[in-house]
Amino acid sequence: MSRSLILKTHKALVSKKVSCLELVNWYLSEIKKSDLNAFITVTEESAIESAKKVDDKIRNGEKIGILEGIPMSLKDNFSTKGIRTTCASKMLENYYPVYDSTVYDVLKKAGCILLGKANLDEFAMGSSNETSYFGPVKNPHDKTRVAGGSSGGACASVASGLATFSIGSDTGGSIRQPASFCGIVGFKPTYGAISRYGLIPLASSLDCVGPLTISVEDASILFDLLSFYDPKDERCSPIKRKPTLNCLENEIKGLKIGVPTNCFYGSDEETYNAVENAVKFYEKLGASVSFFEFPELDLSMPIYCVLGRAETASNMSRFDGIRYGYKYDGPYKDIDDLMTRTRSIAFGEEVKRRILVGSYVLSAGHKALYKKSLNLRNMVIDSFNKRFTEFDVLMMPASPTTAFGFNYAEGDPLKMQLADICVVPANIAGLPAISVPCGYDSNNLPIGLQILGKQWSDDLIFNVANVYEKENFCAKIIGGVQYEV
């Protein structure tokens, strides 16, 4: 039986077991009942309108596409024409974009139905979804814990049956870490594979777009749809993509797996055991496994702290209270004063701190640090290239721990940043990486296995993840819409 929720939903629609309107109303009613705070904006009216159109087509005997009528959520940092796009910030609380992001445009053209815009850390800056201006997101598996971040709302919506799938962004693990915390599949593609046009940027040399789903197959379907050259994103690659969906069932006998042991420092025991068991599973299928030290990986986080914040400070300078977004409405002396008052009121603490660190890194006297980080980033990329001459894929946890409680790192931004220690290296080197559920700890909290490959081996990553999932499927939908087909 297929594990694909997209295909199950598609079958239910074409076999008329459920009408698209019934389905959408079902989801909308579950969203209203939910107390997870997964959504910032619910697009009820347009979702119902779109559902009626799909039902008309089915009634008229017209063929519908696989994604047509599939209810989805979208992280609220993707521009959606005429639909509020807040980035979970007071700065954009009332911002209605005048254009669609490429990703949303394609999903709309494929017939997907947007249920709403999902909560996130403010401007995607955070690892727990606690920095959102609209409040934190609760983890569906344990409401006293965080959903992870920054795509916390998107992941919680999928894990709690409030959307069939979602789309997130990943600058330093923001797809894979919350996917791991919520027990779903999160895929960060090769840098440049999916267009970021219309994604409100965080750190442009790191930002990626990717799917959040219940199964690997669903993630593969969405990747194949969304991965194409878009000249509107300067770093979107023009190379021809390899399809991933028809590679899912390839045999993995002879696969060479590397497991960097230093990735487990700081991991809790149950996470270590779950990842080790997953690796043993591959060994049984004929893969070879080598554990090794990968010291260059440890440089990724310091490099990220420097380069990520420098790019963030640069990107955030567009929010000045003049062109769009919040504007201070009291008296001011001059334009500088207006900008300062606007930004000081409308940005949250974490955003301000990242801008300040970015300004520090880019200011006169500290440029050596920035240049050194660029230089070392090249070294990390080169080290990965060398490792991928020995191994086909690398495996490690997606997070050193399972979901933590609220206020876990209160007043300690470094502690929160280190929650992303396992996921940042793939962003530094532009690699494809997936988090796939690989078990639960003694508190019944999900654990994620992370699989990384060399650039443009996205097809292999899906293949390797799918082989595991086929025999060890453990994603759960907690409440929300559930139905058998």
Partner 1 sequence: MVNREEFLKLCKLSRLEFTDDEIPKLMEGMDSIINFGNKVSECKDSSIATDCDVSFVHRELSNIEYEKCIRDELLSGGTNRDGFFFVKNHSN
**Residues between 353 and 392 with contacts to partner 1, criterion CB under 8 A:** 353, 355-357, 359-361, 363, 368-369, 372-373, 375-379, 381-382
Rounded to 5°, angle at Cα 416 from 415 and 417: 90
User: Has 75 been annotated as catalytic?
Assistant: yes
**Residue bearing tokens 């996921």:** 423
- How many residues bind partner 1 (CB under 8 A)? The answer is 88
- Please pick, among 150, 151, 267, 435, the residue that the annotation labels catalytic: 150
Contact status: 477 vs partner 1 (CB under 8 A): no
Residues in contact with partner 1, shown as a per-residue x/- string from 169 to 208 under the rule CB under 8 A: ---------------------xxx--x-x-------x---
Distant-in-sequence contacts of 229-235, Cβ < 8 A, 24+ apart: 230/102, 230/195, 230/197, 232/102, 232/195, 232/197, 233/102, 233/195, 233/196, 233/197, 235/191, 235/192, 235/196, 235/204, 235/205
Smallest gap from Cβ 424 to partner 1, in A, equals 12
Residue 226 Cβ vs partner 1, minimum distance, rounded to whole Å: 9
Binders of partner 1 among residues 128 to 167 (CB under 8 A) are none
Q: How far apart are CA 207 and CA 430, in angstroms?
A: 9
Q: Kindly state the smallest distance separating residue 362's Cβ from partner 1, in Å.
A: 9
Q: Report, in Å, the least distance between residue 331 CB and partner 1.
A: 15
**2 has catalytic annotation:** no
Task: Count Cβ neighbours within 10 Å for each residue of 80-102 and write b for 16 or more, e otherwise.
Answer: beebbbbbbbbbbbebebeebbb
81 has catalytic annotation: no
Q: Which residue among the candidates 4, 50, 75, 127 is catalytic per the annotation? A: 75
Radius of gyration from C-alpha coordinates of the chain:
21
Return the H-helix or E-strand segment holding 434: strand 433-440
The string of DSSP codes covering 412-431 is -HHHHHGGGTTTHHHHHHT-
Q: What is the nearest approach in angstroms of partner 1 to the Cβ of residue 91?
A: 12
Q: Among 210, 397, 430, 432, which residue interacts with partner 1 (rule: CB under 8 A)?
A: 430
Measured in whole angstroms, the distance separating CA 274 from the mean position of its chain's CA atoms is: 22
**Residues between 303 and 342 with contacts to partner 1, criterion CB under 8 A:** 303, 305-306, 309, 313, 317, 320, 336, 339-341
Q: How many CB atoms lie within 10 A of CB 60?
A: 7
- Residues of span 92-131 touching partner 1 by CB under 8 A: 102, 105-106, 108-111
Of positions 40, 137, 274, 429, contacts partner 1 by CB under 8 A: 429
Q: What residues are labeled active site?
A: 75, 150, 174
